[in-house]
Chains A and B, each alone.
Chain A
């Protein structure tokens, strides 16, 4: 087993955010975690990256329990396990390349990084990654000057700079418009397909999960209530995950452009395509 979560639990005071969940991953896949807000998806990812300490349980990667790691070993694990955030979490005042270089912080000496002394090869690699993600022309701009979708791609570039064994993405498209959401999801899928990296991605919409994931884990109130292929994700299963009643309509949760298009808009698009 490449990656395994065993009886992982997190309690905040009396509230249980993640309740003895368990799942295993045999080989690197694109795994989506869905569920409504407060289901414990973020807490799960933050525990795997060690941003939040778990209350109980084990998380095994290559047979090593990463929850036991402390100090420098913990930071070394964090550098192998990249994280992408809903709000991008870049340093807004620094330029894009510097932000991407931060993916190497753990592997370089503190003093050298403090004075921005990164090896030339690293800088070239950072720009190569930006080129691959189609944002190289913004390399010298401040991160705050970029649009949300561009910032999220910078965050993905930072993650790639880490050369990670695993990529965690916490609602990567929740604060993006549909166009940018699609670009970001396509990028994530591409780095999975091309590099064979494992991606564990929190999503709150069903159609995104269906479209991009090889496997979907559904969480509700801190527990796993669904674990299977996206095809098995029927409306009944979705109602179970979201705790919704008969009135639940899938398209209401959608952020994809096709679903948002009204017939009138679609006509305009068709006309444009024809021209």
Chain B
């Protein structure tokens, strides 16, 4: 309404002036963005070891040689799939266990940090910040520390991913729980139910479909995370992938087999989870 009060006599002129000013701002913003882009690119280019333009032509060298080797040894493909299947199972296991534990931790953290539901309202900021901390720490950092302490293997990877999941899901869960209807909770409070009973019966039935849907989405993300953690010695299919890739020429057919296994897993999990999420969705209202 500012432009109307500025010149009430001429609304057309005032509106045009406003439009011009907006266009000018957008133009200036674009110029600044382009300048920043060019500037930072030159900085990055000068500090780069290889050089962006020289390397650009080699981008497809790796996929090309991987595909070439894969086609040359296509007869070994089924054997490779069978060979790496157990480590795929290990990776999925790590992801499933960490999603389960992470979701349970996230559930408790979320309820403790939601206004209107929290057991100790004054502690809400403490639980929120602890969730922020869990989210801010990358899985790989937690995993490296734990592997250093406990040695390599699936358990440190599981703990690392579970901690990160607790932070990520806790935040999402809390946002869902904030919108929960408080009437059932109040009804339960009036009969003398304790906090656990109020949450379990008053809140969970309302939010369960959303919580489950977020947890399944997180499971997909965690499969990828647990594959990556294999690179730093956490076992599973990531470990095999690193071996086949770093041992250089002659092993790329196996790397491709692993990629295909991972891809199929993600597709299958995505299909299953979207099927169940669609089933859960109509009950949400």
Residues in chain A within 8 A of chain B (CB atoms): 49, 51, 74-79, 82-83, 85, 87-94, 102-103, 105-106, 110, 113-114, 155, 158, 162
> Which residues on the B side are within 8 Å of A76 (C-beta)?
192
- Interface residue? B37 (CB, 8 A): no
Q: Are B189 and A51 in contact (CB under 8 A)?
A: yes
CA gap between A60 and B191 in the complex, in Å: 19
Instruction: With A91-B202, A114-B200 as known contacts, state yes or no: A83 contacts B190, CB within 8 Å.
Output: yes
Q: Are B206 and A93 in contact (CB under 8 A)?
A: yes
> Which residues on the A side are within 8 Å of B196 (C-beta)?
110, 114
CA gap between A102 and B192 in the complex, in Å: 9
CB distance from A203 to the nearest CB of B (A): 19
Q: Are B192 and A106 in contact (CB under 8 A)?
A: yes
- Interface residue? B26 (CB, 8 A): no
Q: Are B201 and A102 in contact (CB under 8 A)?
A: yes
Q: Are B190 and A51 in contact (CB under 8 A)?
A: yes
> Which residues on the B side are within 8 Å of A77 (C-beta)?
192
The majority secondary structure among interface residues of chain B is helix
Q: Are A102 and B193 in contact (CB under 8 A)?
A: yes
CA gap between A158 and B201 in the complex, in Å: 14
Q: Are A110 and B197 in contact (CB under 8 A)?
A: yes
Instruction: With A75-B194, A105-B192, A162-B191 as known contacts, state yes or no: A85 contacts B186, CB within 8 Å.
Output: yes
Q: Are A105 and B188 in contact (CB under 8 A)?
A: yes
CA gap between A62 and B188 in the complex, in Å: 25
CA gap between A87 and B191 in the complex, in Å: 16
CB distance from B92 to the nearest CB of A (A): 29
CB distance from B188 to the nearest CB of A (A): 6
> Which residues on the B side are within 8 Å of A155 (C-beta)?
187
Q: Are B194 and A102 in contact (CB under 8 A)?
A: no
Q: Are A89 and B192 in contact (CB under 8 A)?
A: no
CA gap between A90 and B190 in the complex, in Å: 11
CA gap between A167 and B218 in the complex, in Å: 46
> Which residues on the A side are within 8 Å of B200 (C-beta)?
113-114
Q: Are A94 and B205 in contact (CB under 8 A)?
A: yes
CA gap between A162 and B191 in the complex, in Å: 7
CB distance from B169 to the nearest CB of A (A): 21
Instruction: With A91-B202, A93-B206, A110-B197 as known contacts, state yes or no: A82 contacts B184, CB within 8 Å.
Output: no
CA gap between A78 and B202 in the complex, in Å: 17
- Interface residue? B183 (CB, 8 A): yes
Nearest CB to that of B196 among chain A residues? A110
Q: Are A94 and B193 in contact (CB under 8 A)?
A: no
CB distance from B19 to the nearest CB of A (A): 45
Q: Are A78 and B189 in contact (CB under 8 A)?
A: yes
Nearest CB to that of B186 among chain A residues? A89
Query: A114: which of B189, B190, B197 is its contact (CB, 8 Å)?
Result: B197
A to B CB contacts below 8 Å, 27 in the list: A49-B190, A51-B186, A75-B193, A78-B190, A78-B192, A79-B192, A83-B191, A85-B183, A90-B184, A91-B202, A92-B184, A93-B206, A94-B201, A102-B187, A102-B193, A102-B201, A105-B193, A105-B197, A105-B201, A106-B191, A106-B192, A106-B194, A110-B194, A114-B200, A155-B187, A158-B191, A162-B192
List which B194-228 residues lie within 8 A (CB) of chain A: 194, 196-197, 200-202, 205-206
CB distance from B67 to the nearest CB of A (A): 52
